[in-house]
């Protein structure tokens, strides 16, 4: 109980938080909604019962006793300390004192398991305007997108695009543009590409919002974001995706963006293959080909927190897969050197999932950091040489 003596007594949830039940039986989940920040979290019954005890009326010892009565499970002081700290980090609690920081070794382990190579920490966001007004006006003209006819057309477009790329489009179209952007840097090419990329990103994000709207929920705001690794890009707030009860609907919302990007890439590829190279529209078609194809591939890969990641984790019922994989790998790496918190017993399939995903995600992130770092070095060198 030594750790509990330094904890804040009688923790209390913020009064404006909304908690809704989702699903039933073995798939029972609860949705925590923060209306102030427009954020959503899912939790299971165990954390839900603990949240209901954060009324400001129970001391920590009383919370442990009440939790045991509710769930027939004994909660240790370390587990309660960890849970309350997590609640405080997410902004759930409404109290003046904060849970104590853990000892140095455990604090370092906790920091590494949550944040190493995390691209989210580098993203700055600015809201622009509500998405509802624009997307509701588009709703009548986009209904056909959810019909079998559209998916047949999309499949035909993808088949043609793959054939064109395999027949020389990749080598003659995408690679030369990539060299102008990242190899022998052309500022003219970058200006043209950024315009095309912003258009592609806006359509990509609109697809998320339109699909969410189709399933009866409302997107929040369109916004502009900046990341040193991804540059400037649009986004749309789709936190209400977690209020969709059907998993296939949530996956459809997540994958709608890459699908829209793939359509842009397909149209750009076909136009580029038909228009003579000396026609000005050919270079624009080439840029749309590159932007559409590359953003579709990047966003469908699940090794960053992209659309493909959220679709995968939702489909396999493993939320926060990246953090769990990092925690698992760091536990394996650090275990021979000093004590680490005990982890829950895992099935063999979970060991393979966490280890395999974690290694690939780390390698992919290191590769992305290398690409972006090399680009900025070449950019600085090119600028200096141009000035001199």
pLDDT tens, position by position, 271-288? 999 998 888 888 899 999
pLDDT value at 261 more than 90:
yes
- Mean pLDDT is lowest, of 14-28, 238-252, 347-361, for 14-28
Identify whether residues 58 and 126 lie together within a single domain. Answer: no
For helices 247-274 and 148-164, angle between their N-to-C axes, nearest 10 degrees = 50
Facing residues of 22 across strands? 29
Q: Which of 320, 351, 383 is the last residue of a domain?
A: 320
The predicted model gives 53-67 an average pLDDT of 86
What was the pLDDT predicted at 230? 65
Q: Which of 320, 337, 363 is the last residue of a domain?
A: 320
Instruction: Give residues with Cβ within 8 angstroms of 298, minimum separation 6.
Output: 304, 306
Collapsing DSSP states into helix, strand and coil, what is residue 23? coil
Q: What percent of the chain has pLDDT over 70?
A: 85
Identify whether residues 194 and 230 lie together within a single domain. Answer: yes
- The verdict on residue 137 lying in a domain is yes
Collapsing DSSP states into helix, strand and coil, what is residue 326? helix
User: Could you count the other beta carbons within 10 Å of the beta carbon of residue 361?
Assistant: 22
- The verdict on residue 25 lying in a domain is yes
What was the pLDDT predicted at 41? 80
Collapsing DSSP states into helix, strand and coil, what is residue 222? strand
H/E segment holding residue 148? helix 148-164
The whole-angstrom separation of Cα 288 and Cα 193 is 8
What was the pLDDT predicted at 5? 43
Task: List own/partner pairs for 336-339 with CB under 8 A and 24 or more apart.
Answer: 338/105, 339/105
Instruction: Give residues with Cβ within 8 angstroms of 7, minimum separation 6.
Output: 60, 80, 81, 84, 99, 100
Identify whether residues 31 and 73 lie together within a single domain. Answer: yes
Facing residues of 41 across strands? 32
Closest-CA residue to 44 (of 17, 102, 83, 11): 83
Identify whether residues 6 and 128 lie together within a single domain. Answer: no
Identify whether residues 138 and 28 lie together within a single domain. Answer: no
Quick one: DSSP state of residue 293? Answer: H
Digit-coded pLDDT (tens) for 163-213: 999 998 888 888 888 887 776 767 788 889 889 999 999 999 999 999 999
Report the number of distinct structural domains present in the chain.
2
Closest-CA residue to 238 (of 203, 204, 213, 202): 213
Identify whether residues 129 and 159 lie together within a single domain. Answer: yes
pLDDT value at 76 more than 70:
yes
0.85 exceeded by the pTM? no
pLDDT value at 109 more than 80:
no
Identify whether residues 17 and 69 lie together within a single domain. Answer: yes
Domain that holds residue 46: 2-101
Identify whether residues 91 and 216 lie together within a single domain. Answer: no
The whole-angstrom separation of Cα 185 and Cα 157 is 31
Instruction: Give residues with Cβ within 8 angstroms of 382, minimum separation 6.
Output: 185
Collapsing DSSP states into helix, strand and coil, what is residue 183? helix
Closest-CA residue to 230 (of 304, 310, 311): 304
């Amino acid at each position: 109980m030594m750790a509990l003596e330094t904890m804040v007594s009688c923790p209390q949830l913020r009064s404006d938080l909304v908690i809704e039940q989702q699903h039933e039986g073995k798939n029972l989940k609860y949705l925590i909604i923060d209306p102030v920040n427009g954020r959503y979290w899912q939790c299971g019954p165990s954390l839900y019962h603990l949240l209901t005890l954060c009324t400001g009326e129970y001391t920590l010892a009383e919370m442990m006793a009440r939790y045991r009565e509710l769930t027939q499970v004994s909660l240790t002081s370390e587990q309660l300390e960890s849970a309350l700290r997590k609640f405080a980090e997410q902004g759930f609690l409404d109290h003046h004192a904060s849970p104590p920081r853990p000892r140095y070794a455990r604090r370092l382990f906790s920091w590494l398991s949550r944040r190493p190579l995390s691209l989210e920490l580098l993203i700055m966001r600015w809201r622009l305007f509500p998405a509802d007004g624009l997307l509701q006006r588009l709703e009548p003209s986009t209904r056909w997108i959810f019909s079998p006819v559209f998916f047949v057309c999309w499949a035909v477009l993808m088949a043609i695009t793959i054939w064109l790329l395999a027949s020389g489009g990749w080598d003659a179209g995408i690679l030369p543009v990539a060299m102008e952007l990242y190899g022998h840097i052309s500022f003219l090419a970058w200006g043209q590409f950024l315009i095309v990329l912003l258009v592609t990103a806006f359509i990509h994000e609109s697809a998320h919002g339109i699909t969410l709207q189709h399933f009866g929920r409302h997107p929040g705001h369109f916004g502009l974001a900046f990341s040193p690794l991804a540059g400037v890009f649009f986004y749309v707030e789709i936190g209400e995706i977690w209020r969709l009860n059907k998993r296939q609907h949530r996956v459809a919302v997540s994958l709608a963006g890459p699908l829209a990007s793939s359509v842009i890439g397909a149209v750009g590829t076909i136009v580029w293959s038909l228009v003579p190279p000396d026609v000005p529209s050919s270079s624009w078609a080439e840029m749309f080909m590159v932007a559409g194809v590359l953003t579709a591939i990047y966003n469908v890969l699940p090794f960053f927190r992209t659309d493909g990641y959220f679709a995968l984790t939702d489909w396999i019922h493993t939320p926060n897969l990246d953090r769990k994989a990092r925690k698992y790998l760091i536990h394996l790496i650090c275990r021979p050197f000093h004590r680490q918190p005990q982890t829950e017993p895992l099935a063999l399939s979970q060991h393979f999932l966490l280890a395999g995903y974690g290694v690939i995600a780390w390698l992919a992130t290191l590769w992305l950091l290398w690409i972006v770092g090399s680009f900025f070095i070449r950019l600085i060198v090119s600028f200096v040489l141009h000035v001199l």
